[in-house]
Every structure is written in structure tokens, then in C-alpha cells.
Amino acid sequence: GEDVEQSLFLSVREGDSSVINCTYTDSSSTYLYWYKQEPGAGLQLLTYIFSNMDMKQDQRLTVLLNKKDKHLSLRIADTQTGDSAIYFCAIASSSNTGKLIFGQGTTLQVKP
């Protein structure tokens, strides 16, 4: 079945760049997503990338997609303490009806 893997924890210093990595198994996914979850809150859609793109940039966020290696990454430039949260990589299931398969989530800790 479809599977999404992420590293569980990342710690960076304020002002540095953060890179969160994700690998997946289903190559038929049309869309790949990054969500942010703050403590006790729901999920906030940060960005998504269409599978025929290699890169997407949105202000401090850069998403890189390597379809050959089935690898997705999220780079946060100039990381701030407010970026501390859990970041989930998600892929649309092969039926592409809005059903998402999530990674385990990467906890980003930003130290002042």
C-alpha cells in the first residue's frame, strides 16, 4: 500500500534554514502536500506541489520534488520560533479524491 516516511525530529537555531524531508512509495500521486500542526490545533495547509513540478517557492517556503527518488522536501528560510510545530508530509491517494496519506510528522524545534 501507499506509505509516507519522515524523520521525527529536527532542531535548528533561529535564523537558520530548516529542511524537512519526506519519502513516499506511491508514484501515481498527483499532488503532494505540507501541513503544519501547532500544539492542540488542527492542520494548516502550508503548500502543495503538483507532481509535474520540481520546485515551488512561496515566500520563506521552498518545496523540492524528486519524482525519480520519490523524495519531497520542505525548506523554511530564516526559521523563526513561531515556526516550531509538527510538519506533516502528505500525498493524495491514487484515487485522488481528497483522501490523504500522511507521514508520521516531523517535530521542528527552533532554538532562540
Partner 1 sequence: GAVVSQHPSRVICKSGTSVKIECRSLDFQATTMFWYRQFPKKSLMLMATSNEGSKATYEQGVEKDKFLINHASLTLSTLTVTSAHPEDSSFYICSAPLGGGTEAFFGQGTRLTVV
Q: What are phi and psi of 81, to 5 degrees?
A: -60, -30
Nearer of residues 48 and 62 to partner 1, judged by Cβ: 48
- The verdict on 102 binding partner 1 (CB under 8 A) reads yes
* Residue window 28-47: x/- pattern of binding to partner 1, with contact defined by CB under 8 A: ---x-x-x----xxxxxx--
The secondary structure element, H or E, covering residue 13 is: strand 9-13
Nearer of residues 37 and 62 to partner 1, judged by Cβ: 37
Amino acid at 6: Q
Give the DSSP letter string of 46-92.
EEEEETT-SEEEETTEEEEEETTTTEEEEEESS--GGG-EEEEEEEE
Nearer of residues 18 and 88 to partner 1, judged by Cβ: 88
The residues of the shown chain that bind partner 1, judged by CB under 8 A, are 31, 33, 35, 40-45, 48, 88, 92, 96-105
